[in-house]
Structure 1
Amino acid sequence: MTRQNFVVSSDGKSMVNALIPLWDLCNHEQGRLSTDFLPEKDHSECLAWRRFSRGEQIFIFYENLHDTLAVRLGISHADPLGDKKRALLNTLVLPCSGEFLLHAGPEPVDAKFRAFLRIFSMSEEQLDHWLAKQEGSKDLEHNDCALDSELESKAWTFLKTRVTLLLASYNSSLQDDELLLQSRSINSYKRLAVQQRAAEKKILHETLIYAQQKLLQ
């Protein structure tokens, strides 16, 4: 799942997943994107963005570790458990509604977002248990916090559903954007906008995979 490269299909009408020998073995290093698919030559090309010494491992840049996507979430005033959820969120100095960030890379959900998802999904009994712990509620931010499997399932199912809806709200797919970026006919302003949109979708796709993996644990 970590090696999904989009190249133009044989009929030139879509983007398809491909494995690229050797290039697929390269590790990541912060730098700048220097890999592209050249339709006129029908191959992918990767340019070195810095000088490498003989015998040195060759790295490629394939994700900006600082990319984030804001997702707005909140506790509904119609939620019968809203007061207890807000009280527990307050103990962790977390907002009851607002924007939470999804991060690029294999760990898109940070500690604060993880705790919010768990509290959002709690039953009244679970809320009472964690409210009684006071400072122990900080454990809700930990990836390996001991929680009921049903609660974890509800939290990650909620995130999976939310991300799926966000992806469905776009008028194009990530594959469509990748294909459009191969075109030499779009101007620099549109290219920048499409790159931004594609980066958002990539983070959402990574989050979807992350949530699915959590549900399998």
Structure 2
Amino acid sequence: MTRQNFIPASSQGSPMVLALIPWWDMGNHDNGELTTDFNVEIDSSEYRACRSFNSGDQVFMSYGKRPNSELFLHNGFVHVNNRSDDVKLRLGVSKSDALVNLKCELLKELGIPSSAEFHLPYTSQPYRPVGNFLAFLRVFNMDQGDLEEWTRKENKEDLLQPEPALPVDAKVFRFLATRIKLILSAYFSSLKEDENMLAERDLSPCLKLALLLRITEKRILTKIVADLEKVQF
């Protein structure tokens, strides 16, 4: 599947057909902008370097802003320093929650599903939830009084904004840190144990890749917990 590329069948731009592009397809991935396009005027696929390279350097391309889980599944490698990496986190309002109706109604007005998959991203900056994820966490952690108050408000979109901080935010950060710790505890090995295992020389290529994927996931989760626990309210 990863060797099939859609290109126009003619200079008119349609229909699209599948093609192999062997020389271009040998390029390895690195962080950067996706700079491949199809030039219909010369009937060729074109790639422009996403940064400067010196003579003798390997020229890398970007496969797009994709997390390691997708690169591993579709391309068969793990990019340890992937600036587009993330870990998926599924959260939902339980039907057994006594406040399920109030929470779901408020989320609906914000255009946010009551059950969704959110992304915990790699970031070199201190992590803070933003946008729909922040609003979901706020609603999820509200008590009845807060829910009724926000349901009456016209400026519900303020729940999407990190500033000003809301009284519920302290609970939000504690909840998210605890939830991520539960994910980490579900692994049968620690991050340190995985890193020690990676240092062993007799790992098969497949086992090494699976181990690298697990390590990159744990590094993201561990850093986010540390960032959340540093927040002062």
Structure 2-normalised TM-score?
0.63
Give the match's secondary structure for 2:132. Answer: helix
Give the match's secondary structure for 1:155. Answer: helix
Give the match's secondary structure for 2:153. Answer: helix
Letter in 1 for 2:146: Q
Structure 2 Cα separation of the partners of residues 109 and 63 of structure 1: 22
Q: Say yes or no: does 1:81 pair with 2:102.
A: no
Letter in 2 for 1:124: Q
Question: By how many angstroms is 1:108 displaced?
Answer: 5.9
Letter in 1 for 2:228: A
The answer for unaligned runs of 5 or more in structure 2 is: 1-29, 33-52, 56-78
CA shift digits 1:28-85 (9 cap, x unpaired) = x947xxxxxxxxxxxxxxxxxx659xxxxxxxx9742211111111111111111111
- Call closer, same or farther: CA 1:73–1:213 in 2, change over 3 Å: same
1:147-158 equivalence runs, <5 A: 147-148=166-167, 151-158=168-175
Structure 1 Cα separation of the partners of residues 139 and 151 of structure 2: 11
Question: By how many angstroms is 1:145 displaced?
Answer: 2.9
1:122 aligned to 142, 159, 163, which one?
A: 142
Q: Paired residue for 1:198?
A: 215
The 10-residue stretch of structure 1 (124-133 or 82-91) with the greater mean CA deviation from structure 2: 124-133
1:51-70 equivalence runs, <5 A: 51=54, 63-70=81-88
Give the match's secondary structure for 2:136. Answer: helix
Asked which structure has the greater RCO (Cα within 8 Å, sep 6+), the reply is 1
Q: Paired residue for 2:26?
A: none
- 8 Å contact from structure 2 (residues 89, 120) kept in 1: yes
Question: By how many angstroms is 1:101 displaced?
Answer: 1.0
Q: Say yes or no: does 1:141 pair with 2:160.
A: yes
Report the count of equivalent residues.
160
Structure 1 Cα separation of the partners of residues 128 and 202 of structure 2: 34
Question: By how many angstroms is 1:187 displaced?
Answer: 1.2
CA shift digits 1:100-157 (9 cap, x unpaired) = 11111133633211111111010111112211223x2221122223412xx1121111
Structure 2 Cα separation of the partners of residues 99 and 184 of structure 1: 37
- 8 Å contact from structure 1 (residues 157, 211) kept in 2: yes
Question: By how many angstroms is 1:181 displaced?
Answer: 1.7
Structure 2 Cα separation of the partners of residues 174 and 142 of structure 1: 33
Letter in 1 for 2:82: N
Structure 2 Cα separation of the partners of residues 70 and 62 of structure 1: 17
- 8 Å contact from structure 1 (residues 76, 82) kept in 2: yes
Structure 2 Cα separation of the partners of residues 146 and 201 of structure 1: 28
Q: Say yes or no: does 1:99 pair with 2:125.
A: no
Give the match's secondary structure for 1:186. Answer: coil
Identity, % of aligned pairs? 34
The 10-residue stretch of structure 1 (137-146 or 87-96) with the greater mean CA deviation from structure 2: 137-146
